[in-house]
Structure 1
Amino acid sequence: MALMNEPTAPYHAAQDALRVLETVARHAAGVTDAQIARRTGLTTERLTPLLRMLRREGYVEQITGGAYVTGDALARLGSAQGREEALRAHLQRTLDRLRDSVRAAVYISRYVDGEVRITQYAAGPGAPPVNEWVDFRESAHAHAVGKSLLTQLDHNGRRDHLSRHKMARLTSRTITSDKLLLSRLEAQPPTVPVLDLQEYAVGTVCAAVPITAGSSVGCLALSMPVEHAHRLRTAADALGRSAAPVLLSLAI
């Protein structure tokens, strides 16, 4: 399987954050933001939001005098023992915060062994999850998660997936022409969220952004009732800005 998209802004942010973490980890007694900037080559405008994000995620802490040291979250995720459990718990906290921030159900999905998999999600009374009335694995052509994952494959990878999964009409808005869908996927810019406007389920709208690292294909997505559709693009933009912490968690 080959990937198509150029690295997105969240990917670059995650890479910069890793450089910051490496610098902090090398200074057990603490390192100032000015020292981090010199060692990483990052500007203050670039570094300040990264440090804010790293503090919020628990990867760094500030000590007396303002210097930064590594935080508890980095120790937990960096440990070989119990890493998977720690990663899952950390991602769940991130998703829960994001759900409350965008007021929508949020999901992490991966493309594993040629299939769409929702690996984690956060929903609640004010942020209901999508009713999976058709198996997500069989309906990638219709929902934002599936289309975001397919955009990250090359042409042959997309054709292979569609050859294994019939493009059924789920609503009046569902694309059932493989030629039209492939054309849309080809034209989808990696920096623009993929939208699903009642293509999978009547009454539900969705958005998804890629979280691709190396050969791993994934996406971060949200869903909301159609009566909240006027908030979809704003929420999708917020989703894109929140992809970097998720990518960083997967990369550590």
Structure 2
Amino acid sequence: MSRAASVLAALGASTSGPMRASDLSRATGLGASTMARLLGTLEELGYVRKLPDTQGYTIGHAILALASAGLNQNPVHREARAPAQELAQRVGLSVNVAVPEGTSVIYLCHFEGHLAPKSHTMIGLTQPIHASALGKAVLLGTSEDERRELLGEGPFPRYTSHTITTHEALTRDLKTAADRGTCIEEQELALGRLCVAAPIREATGDVVAAISISGRLSVMRTQGIDALGEDVIETADRISVGLGMISAVPPRP
């Protein structure tokens, strides 16, 4: 099982398209005969697909079906999909919904407005929880002690000169965000990018996900950060109500 998983992971991580059996052997450290048997089984099950013209392998349709089923079974995805799509169409920018996964957040929804076209989907990709607006919005539901247990004592990985790398700075940023209602990521992951996010809560009031609007720095500023923040808060509240939250959430001490 672990060997098959390593083959699928190598295919998924490929940045050069389909991979030949020899490429997969080098990437996974598995022998040629073992790789041939694994690829034959995975192809039979539909988890990989062999391209006859190049003899290369890609992710198969069965993986796509499983991913689709997993998304459709997720209550956050079900409640967030329509509101997030409507928001992207209205503001013309990228709108993403993500849930926490260890020290990262993983994208469940990704929609593009006319001002932010992309040639790829963000669904299934991850971002660091300390350096993204989505991640910081999820962290609004945590105490500093919980963040230290999750992230360690630091310093956190740095992506640009703007990245928050200490608990002290992160706590200050989250305090400001809690008062404002939104988390802002300005060039913390990538230069020239800005993102504003708000937490999504379930029936208990706990933060279970976050939704964001993101785009080029100049475009986001032209649209107005405050106005976009209001839009993302309203959409987050709509999704939270769909998840069962019907009352105000008292602030955590």
Bigger Rg, structure 1 or 2: 2
- The structure whose RCO (Cα within 8 Å, separation 6+) is larger is 1
Of 176, 181, 186, which aligns to 2:170? 181
Alpha carbons 1:128, 1:224 under 8 Å: kept: no
- 1:160-171 aligned at under 5 Å gives the runs 160-163=149-152, 167-171=156-160
* Structure 1 SS opposite 2:162: coil
Structure 1 residues without counterparts, runs of 5 or longer: 1-82
Structure 2 CA distance for aligned equivalents of residues 235 and 191 of structure 1: 13
- 1:125-204 aligned at under 5 Å gives the runs 125-128=114-117, 136-137=126-127, 139-163=128-152, 167-189=156-178, 191-204=180-193
Deviations 1:124-160 (A, max 9, x none): 553246998xx734x2221111111112112222112
Structure 1 length-normalised TM: 0.57
Q: Which residue of 1 aligns with 2:235?
A: 242
Alpha carbons 1:172, 1:199 under 8 Å: kept: yes
Structure 2 CA distance for aligned equivalents of residues 178 and 131 of structure 1: 32
Q: CA deviation at 1:188?
A: 3.1
Alpha carbons 2:214, 2:220 under 8 Å: kept: no
Q: Which residue of 2 aligns with 1:36?
A: none
Q: What is the CA RMSD across the aligned residues, in angstroms?
A: 3.2
Structure 2 residues without counterparts, runs of 5 or longer: 1-71, 246-253
- 1:103-114 aligned at under 5 Å gives the runs 103-112=92-101
Structure 1 CA distance for aligned equivalents of residues 153 and 112 of structure 2: 30
Q: CA deviation at 1:245?
A: 2.1
Alpha carbons 1:104, 1:123 under 8 Å: kept: yes
Q: Which runs of 4+ in 1 moved over 6 A?
A: none
The share of aligned pairs that are identical, in percent, is 22
- Against the structure 1 CA distance between its residues 217 and 179, is the aligned structure 2 distance closer, same or farther, given a 3 Å change threshold? same
The alignment of Structure 1 onto Structure 2 pairs a total of residues equal to 168
Deviations 1:184-237 (A, max 9, x none): 224432552111111111121000011122245221111111121322321121
Q: Which residue of 2 aligns with 1:49?
A: none
Q: Which residue of 2 aligns with 1:122?
A: 111
Deviations 1:66-125 (A, max 9, x none): xxxxxxxxxxxxxxxxx7389746632222111011221111122256642222121255
Alpha carbons 2:138, 2:209 under 8 Å: kept: yes
